[in-house]
């Protein structure tokens, strides 16, 4: 009896330690994100003091500062935070659900599906940004539906889904290249700017749908976090624990695809954020907890940090997607080499 009590106390103490670590790391990530948000508002061609930024945000008329802060920097900051959060959460969901660090929306072709729809609207239909956003969401959903049914066979297969996703990405990237080659000269610049993944030209009207969808779907995914951890144990184990795996997987996929699609529609496909956020969050917090919120915060931090680097670290300004691509490519190579050594590829 004493032995059982001791084991229970040991388990409970471990759970309390993991909870404290989760709270500590998440709090630090929130502080870092707030600091980067402040830097986004303070820094630019003109560096404004904190009191000027606060007065401008409160609605006081300050000559020169209001336009720079409220029209340019504030929408850019809000877009960066919520797009990065959406990329991070969606990437973590896919990597955890499919139990593979390569299974993220970029590599699976979901981002490319949204990009095809958006580029088609930009260079062929010349539609408004609202239509581009809706088309990007629909493109991502159609892509993942096709992938899901192609990967089922007699039963759902993670490996089959990843292989099909990589093939879909290659095919959709070819479609994007074809659309750009056939588009009018005046449309190419807009399409390429969008495809690079950028916060340049962010507007509050475009950020509002992104903010609303992130606020709506993040609580849903947080509630489903426990079931997500069960899916990570495997199909048979999750089923034995009472999880309706097919329904849960469809719910998680649809919610994640909507997040990744609206973020892609707003900023373009910012490279590697969804790929890096989950592993970084797991390293910081540990893999035993549901790290949906930390992964989202890491995604927001990556986007804000990369945008600041792209704006101020070089002689020329680079889109945020270029910087995240530089950061993420070495990690992808390292991950593939490590998985190959372990025989996982």
pLDDT cut 90: percent of the chain above it: 22
- Closest CA relative to residue 194, chosen from 211, 182, 209, 206: 206
For 254-274, what is each residue's pLDDT tens digit?
888 889 888 988 888 888 898
3-state secondary structure at position 46 = coil
Report yes or no: 211 and 82 within 8 Å, Cβ to Cβ. yes
Whole-angstrom distance, CA of residue 54 vs CA of residue 60: 9
Domain membership of residue 36 (yes or no) is no
Give the list of residues 6+ apart from residue 68 with CB closer than 8 angstroms, or none: 44, 45, 46, 48
3-state secondary structure at position 64 = coil
Residue 93 per-residue DSSP state: H
Q: Would you call 199 exposed, middle or buried from its count of C-beta atoms within 10 A (0-12, 13-18, 19+)? A: buried
Domain membership of residue 26 (yes or no) is no
Domain membership of residue 166 (yes or no) is yes
Helix pair angle (2-42, 50-57), 10° resolution: 90
Whole-angstrom distance, CA of residue 174 vs CA of residue 136: 17
Domain membership of residue 50 (yes or no) is no
pLDDT surpassing 90 at residue 198: no
Domain membership of residue 193 (yes or no) is yes
**CATH label of the domain that carries residue 161:** 1.10.3470.10
For 51-99, what is each residue's pLDDT tens digit?
888 988 888 888 778 888 888 999 999 999 999 999 999 999 988 887 7
H/E element, 231: helix 225-231
Question: Model pTM?
Answer: 0.89
Q: How many domains does the chain have?
A: 1
Q: Residue range 293-315: average pLDDT?
A: 92
Residue 329 binned pLDDT confidence (cut-offs 50, 70, 90): confident
Domain membership of residue 108 (yes or no) is yes
Report yes or no: 161 and 151 within 8 Å, Cβ to Cβ. yes
Helix pair angle (129-152, 245-267), 10° resolution: 150
Please give the residue range of the domain that contains residue 83: 79-341
Domain membership of residue 324 (yes or no) is yes
Domain membership of residue 98 (yes or no) is yes
- Closest CA relative to residue 205, chosen from 300, 130, 127: 130
């Amino acid at each position: 009896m004493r032995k059982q009590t001791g084991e229970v106390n040991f388990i409970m103490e471990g759970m309390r330690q993991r909870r404290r670590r989760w709270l500590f790391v998440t709090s630090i990530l929130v502080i870092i994100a707030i600091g980067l948000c402040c830097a986004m508002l303070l820094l630019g061609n003109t560096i404004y003091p904190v009191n000027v930024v606060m007065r401008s945000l409160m609605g006081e008329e300050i000559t020169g500062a209001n336009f720079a802060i409220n029209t340019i920097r504030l929408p850019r900051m809000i877009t960066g935070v919520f797009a990065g959060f959406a990329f991070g959460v969606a990437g973590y969901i896919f990597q955890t659900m499919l139990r593979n660090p390569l299974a993220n929306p970029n590599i699976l072709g979901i981002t490319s599906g949204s990009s095809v729809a958006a580029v088609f609207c930009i260079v062929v239909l010349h539609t408004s940004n609202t239509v581009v956003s809706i088309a990007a969401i629909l493109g991502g959903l159609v892509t993942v539906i096709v992938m899901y049914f192609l990967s089922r066979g007699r039963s759902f297969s993670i490996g089959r889904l990843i292989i099909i996703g990589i093939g879909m990405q290659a095919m959709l990237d070819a479609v994007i290249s074809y659309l750009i080659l056939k588009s009018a000269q005046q449309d190419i610049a807009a399409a390429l700017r969008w495809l690079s993944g950028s916060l340049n030209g962010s507007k509050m009207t475009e950020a509002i749908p992104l903010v609303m969808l992130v606020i709506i779907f993040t609580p849903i995914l947080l509630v489903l976090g426990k079931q997500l951890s069960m899916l990570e144990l495997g199909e048979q184990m999750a089923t034995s624990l009472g999880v309706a795996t097919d329904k849960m997987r469809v719910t998680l996929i649809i919610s994640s695809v909507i997040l990744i699609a609206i973020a892609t529609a707003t900023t373009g496909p910012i490279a590697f954020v969804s790929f890096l956020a989950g592993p970084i969050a797991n390293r910081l917090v540990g893999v035993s907890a549901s790290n949906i919120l930390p992964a989202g915060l890491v995604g927001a931090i990556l986007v804000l940090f990369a945008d600041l680097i792209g704006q101020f670290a070089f002689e020329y300004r680079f889109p945020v997607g270029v910087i995240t691509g530089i950061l993420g490519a070495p990690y992808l190579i390292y991950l593939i080499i490590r998985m190959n050594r372990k025989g996982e590829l």
